[in-house]
Structure 1
Amino acid sequence: MPLIQHIVLLKFQPQTPAQKIADIFKHLQEITKLIPGISYFAGGTYSSNEGLNQGYTHGFLMTFESAAARDAYLPHPVHEKVKVEILSCIDSVIAFDLEG
């Protein structure tokens, strides 16, 4: 089965406190221990001087062992809880999955 790379870009509202963003990324990291099928997580602040981020300030990557693992993650209550937390303080989000 091919791996699924789950890429998410976040455009946080300017007034979002740095501590709130840090807490969100801590919760995202914790998801990898609570939901089966996630083999990798990395995330953080946009760090390129290329300037092509179009206002997206943060992002993360999760690797799922399979499409089935990703599909189980999406409605999982732990994911839903963190998703609500994220959606309350962003202006925009892009989620993009790659297979392979």
Structure 2
Amino acid sequence: MWIEICKVCGRFDIDARSIRRASRNAVVPQQATATPCHDRIRDERLDWGLHPRHPPTIMPIRHIVLCQFRPDVPVSAQQDLIDKIEALGKIDGIRFEHFSSGRNVSEEGRSNGFESGFSMDFADAGALTAYLVHPEHQKLGAALVALLESGIDSLCVFDMDIGVHG
């Protein structure tokens, strides 16, 4: 996606037609162009944390995974696999800063069958990408899907920017 930022007033325009979801935190300056609003520069930015008063920053990402395990899978087997996923944070090349897991305790009745889940915080999208493509993650991910009620359809993954917003 491209963005034009005015160096004088901080106003910006985004070309939303070219939004791409890959490499959320990459900032790749391209070419400078002059436009009517003061002195604008045109940059390529694949960063969703854009704000006219704050420069783009690398934002931490929370990776949330919700699971619908098969009824025949004991809670101990579920927890064993989640413990192995947590241990991935100790492997060279994978770095997450916080891990938590647990069972659904909501009384709202809106869990849609997701009774178990875990989350981990990554320093930035690059750290998350390194985790996602790591062979150990791939192996444990396949093992997790094998224990789910309807395979991959019984898995919900949600990645959330947890950076401070002004």
Q: TM-score range by the shorter chain?
A: over 0.9
Task: Pick from 87, 108, 111 the counterpart of residue 30 of structure 1.
Answer: 87
Q: Percent identity?
A: 33
User: What TM-score comes out, normalization by structure 1 length?
Assistant: 0.93
What are structure 1's unaligned runs of at least 5 residues? none
Larger Cα-atom Rg: 2
Residue 95 of structure 1 aligns with which residue?
157
Task: Pick from 9, 12, 16 the counterpart of residue 69 of structure 2.
Answer: 12
Question: What is the one-letter code of the residue matched to 2:71?
Answer: P
Tell me the SS of whatever aligns to 1:29. helix
> How far apart are residue 37 of structure 1 and its match?
2.5
> Which deviates more from structure 2 when the two are superposed, residues 34-43 or residues 89-98?
34-43
> How far apart are residue 7 of structure 1 and its match?
0.8
Task: Pick from 108, 111, 124 the counterpart of residue 53 of structure 1.
Answer: 111
1:50-84 deviations in Å (ceiling 9; x for gaps)? 21111111011110011000011101011111101
Identify, as 1 or 2, the structure richer in strand.
Answer: 1
User: 2 CA distance for matches of 1:71 and 1:65?
Assistant: 11
User: What TM-score comes out, normalization by structure 2 length?
Assistant: 0.57
Tell me the SS of whatever aligns to 2:85. helix
Aligned residues: 100
Residue 48 of structure 2 aligns with which residue?
none
User: 2 CA distance for matches of 1:26 and 1:82?
Assistant: 11
User: 1 CA distance for matches of 2:131 and 2:109?
Assistant: 32
The structure, 1 or 2, with the larger RCO (C-alpha pairs under 8 Å, 6+ apart) is 1
- The structure 1 segments of at least 4 consecutive aligned residues displaced by more than 3 Å after TM superposition are none
Identify, as 1 or 2, the structure richer in helix.
Answer: 1
